[in-house]
Amino acid sequence: MLELLTNPEAWVAFGVLTALEIVLGIDNIIFLSILVGRLPAADRPRARTIGLSLAMLMRIGLLLSITWVMSLEAPFFTVFGRDISGRDLILLGGGLFLIAKSTMEIHGSLEGEEHEHNVKGGASFVSTIVQIAVIDIVFSLDSVITAVGMASHVPVMIAAVIAAVGVMMFMAGPISDFVDRHPTIKMLALSFLILIGTALVGEGLGFHIPKGYIYFAMAFSVIVEMLNIRLRKKVQPVQLRKELEE
């Protein structure tokens, strides 16, 4: 352990992995924010903490089971001449779950206040945590496989995961509150989740979509929406003054 603390390469790996884990955790935070937003305000901080803690524990558990994780990439069975691994099945299931859940949330938002009230009324704390745990498995698997490919020391990877989750816990609250205050941002976030779910399904079927493209599209869309929000804030007072003058 002392050798790692005095090894510059270990510190570089720690910094890179921490940054990478935070970037890979963005989709996790978005999904968590959407689900937690359906709970009563008093329960949301606790749900965020439990959800991210589960994500951290799953990542650490998978890192301590690297041999098993890497065995998931071995062929499990064959369909139409293509080998299907355990990782493919997890990505397929997780991607389909994300697409279905996001589509249902979009449909619920478009149905109006009465339907939204019924949906929120049916959201329980336990069911929300279970859904977060399910998708945490998918995101954790992808994150751990990436980390294993970039570092060779398990303690360094675990330290990076803990640091990244700490940053995510700090970011999750403001992001969730911002999404709740802006319905258009929530719709955009749900669209991101459908995009991520589609990428996971494609990955499970053997079609690799570089994550850089996905994150660039997400960042560009967020920047455009931020400009729209700022424009609406400037336009609304002007329209109100005109209405009062008339």
Cβ atoms 30, 10 nearer than 8 A: no
Helix/strand/coil for 37: coil
Strand partners, 77: 84
Domain count, the chain: 2
Check whether residue 202 and residue 82 sit in a common domain.
Answer: yes
Check whether residue 23 and residue 112 sit in a common domain.
Answer: yes
Cβ neighbours, 10 Å, residue 244: 7
Cβ atoms 36, 48 nearer than 8 A: yes
Check whether residue 142 and residue 37 sit in a common domain.
Answer: yes
pLDDT recorded at residue 59: 83
pLDDT recorded at residue 120: 47
Check whether residue 219 and residue 185 sit in a common domain.
Answer: no
Q: Is the pTM of this model over 0.75?
A: no
Check whether residue 148 and residue 214 sit in a common domain.
Answer: no
Closest C-alpha to 109, from 30, 34, 176:
34
Check whether residue 217 and residue 201 sit in a common domain.
Answer: no
Check whether residue 200 and residue 216 sit in a common domain.
Answer: no
Check whether residue 178 and residue 219 sit in a common domain.
Answer: no
pLDDT recorded at residue 146: 66
Residue type, 82: R
Check whether residue 42 and residue 156 sit in a common domain.
Answer: yes
Q: What is the pLDDT along the chain (246 residues), one digit of tens a residue?
A: 556 566 667 777 778 778 877 877 777 888 888 888 888 888 888 888 888 888 888 888 887 786 677 677 778 777 777 788 888 888 888 889 889 888 888 887 777 544 444 444 445 888 888 888 888 888 777 777 766 666 567 777 788 888 888 888 888 888 888 887 877 888 888 888 888 888 888 888 888 777 778 878 888 888 888 888 888 777 766 566 666 666
Task: State residue 82 phi and psi, 5-degree precision.
Answer: -110, 135
Check whether residue 122 and residue 228 sit in a common domain.
Answer: no
Check whether residue 228 and residue 132 sit in a common domain.
Answer: no
Check whether residue 74 and residue 143 sit in a common domain.
Answer: yes
* Residue partners of 165: CB distance under 8 A and separation at least 6: 21, 25, 52, 53, 55, 56, 59
Domain range for residue 226? 210-246
